Structure 1
Amino acid sequence: VVRNKVRRRLRALMGGHMESLPQGSLLVVRANPRAATARQSDLAAELDLVINTLLRRQVGALNR
């Protein structure tokens, strides 16, 4: 039950990021046990950080 709640929360947060990912991208999000008790705002901030880092790395790799 808790795992499904975390999954739903992360899926909802990912909805806002799908357009920023390159078409055809595959992304796996793995939540650690702390995600079950984390505030929604904390999950959103962490997800934003990770996705922005990935996008910056991709741009850097394309510019090489």
Structure 2
Amino acid sequence: MLPSGSRMRRGEEFADAVRKGRRAGRPTLVVHFGMREETDEPALVGFVVSRAVGGAVVRNRVKRQLRHLMRDRLDRFPRGSLLVVRANPPAASARSERLAAELDVALDRLLRRREPSQARVDGR
């Protein structure tokens, strides 16, 4: 599981990540990424799994899978990061490997966008 200090619990943190942050979407999930102002706290991760995904058992299974997957990927983000992973309805029937692959693609997109743009040497 995720370390206790890395779990997002406050509604304002969810709102900041979703409203002010950037997002990257895949068929099974959407990841929202934001940064807290002037803080050196560890990155926080929150999960949103609505009833559209399925019943309580299915939603809890999807949340557990996503928490497990994020545990190994948390160190890729700088301190002060806010991440919200929102599951889409196809996540209910997705295998863990597919969730992992789509999570990696979404996280890579967000990290790539975060890097300062570098002027191309070849002029293109």
C-alpha separation between the residues in 2 aligned to 1:60 and 1:2? 39
Which protein has the bigger strand share? 2
- Aligned position for 1:6: 62
1:31 shift after superposition: 0.3
- Aligned position for 1:55: 111
Q: Percent identity?
A: 56
For the pair shown, the structure with the greater C-alpha radius of gyration is 2
Query: What are the Cα deviations for residues 10-52 of structure 1, in whole angstroms up to 9, with x where unaligned?
Result: 0000011100011110000000111011011100000000001
Structure 1, unmatched stretches of 5+, are none
C-alpha separation between the residues in 1 aligned to 2:73 and 2:116? 19
- Scaled by the length of structure 2, the TM-score of the pair is 0.48
- Aligned position for 1:35: 91
- Aligned position for 1:17: 73
Q: 2:101 aligns with which of 31, 35, 45?
A: 45
Structure 2, unmatched stretches of 5+, are 1-56, 120-124
